[in-house]
Amino acid sequence: MHSSRPIPISFRLAMAGLSALLMLGCIGAMHLVAAAGLTDPVPVYWWTLACGAGITTVFVLIRSGASRRFADPSLTLFQIVYAIACNAAAYVIAGPARGIAPPILAVIMMFGVFGLTPRQMVGVALYGLVAFGAAGAVVQWWHPAWLSPDSQPPALSAAYLVMIAVVLASSTFLTTRVHSARARLRSQKRELAAAVEQIRELATRDELTGLPNRRCMLEMMRLEHARAQRSRQPLLLAQLDLDHFKAVNDTHGHAAGDVALQSFAQTVHGCVRASDLLARWGGEEFLLLMANTHPADGTRLLERVRATPVALPGGTQLSLTVSVGLAELAPGESTAALLQRADAALYGAKRLGRNRVLLAH
């Protein structure tokens, strides 16, 4: 199994180094066997050269970056297959000490538990059975001159092969369980991320109109206020309030009122620029934050909003008017003071007869 995130070459080299250390430990064990006179040292020397060649090849491919062209840049499968072949060869030449092979095989398979897929591990297990089956046949029935003869009972050979089969089967089973647990964790992580995103949306979005809510708008006002103070660019805040909206609810019902609010939000959103932020402030009130906008431009935009009729689903036009209070951020002014001036301008527009845009001074 390969992660979508690229594995750093330093990590690949570290894992290859760990594999090399383990292989060197096995080589040391074999030379101790040879030094004790339990087997002919000549096959052990040739076996050592073969093991060293494999280690060197893996290190060079990873260090040079050539392994990145392969499906498995860490060469995990190659290292395991090669190590099993070396382990099976050690089983043949170790003489009476060949009982060290099953523990070494267990260590080799441990690398596959976290680096291979279950299908690959099944293939490796079958390969291991074939390799050690052939090694067992060599030990029992073929005695070339370079192989130290020994009188290993067939029952002992069978016991070794049973233990090898147990190691291979248990490693494959463990890989399947680990793979299943990882899949579960990934699924739970996706579900958690979706839940967090949903909670974030609920916390920052108005459920009825889909616009940013009061909490989100306050945060955006804080950010835009800081940016405007640093850049000395103009910042406008408009407070929009639907005139006589209670009459819509009383006459047509609250369901129609909800539809009217949704339609008004869509109408305003279609009039403003992508850089402007429209939010539902509460009830039939909305806030519009316009960065880097001069009052004359903001007033023209809001007049266009005011003049655009609200279209309900089905093409019905609703006679809704809107009063707007507009305020420009003054040097050193806080967001609370800016909001208060926009609110005062809104009430001034209502006192002047509603359905108008009033700029605060």
Catalytic residues: 284
Contact 311, 267 (CB under 8 A): yes
User: Which residues of the chain form beta strands (DSSP E)?
Assistant: 235-242, 277-282, 285-291, 310-311, 317-318, 322-328, 357-359
**What is the rounded distance in angstroms from the CA atom of residue 26 to the CA atom of residue 47?**
11
Contact 135, 91 (CB under 8 A): yes
Beta-carbon contacts of 162 under 8 Å, excluding residues fewer than 6 positions away, are none
Query: Residues 25, 27, 32, 38: is their CA dihedral positive or negative?
Result: positive
Helix (H, G, I), strand (E, B), or coil: what is residue 236? strand
DSSP secondary structure code for residue 1 in this structure: -
Query: Residues 94, 54, 146, 158: is their CA dihedral positive or negative?
Result: positive
**What is the rounded distance in angstroms from the CA atom of residue 240 to the CA atom of residue 281?**
9
Number of H helices, E strands in the chain: 11, 7
Contact 360, 344 (CB under 8 A): yes
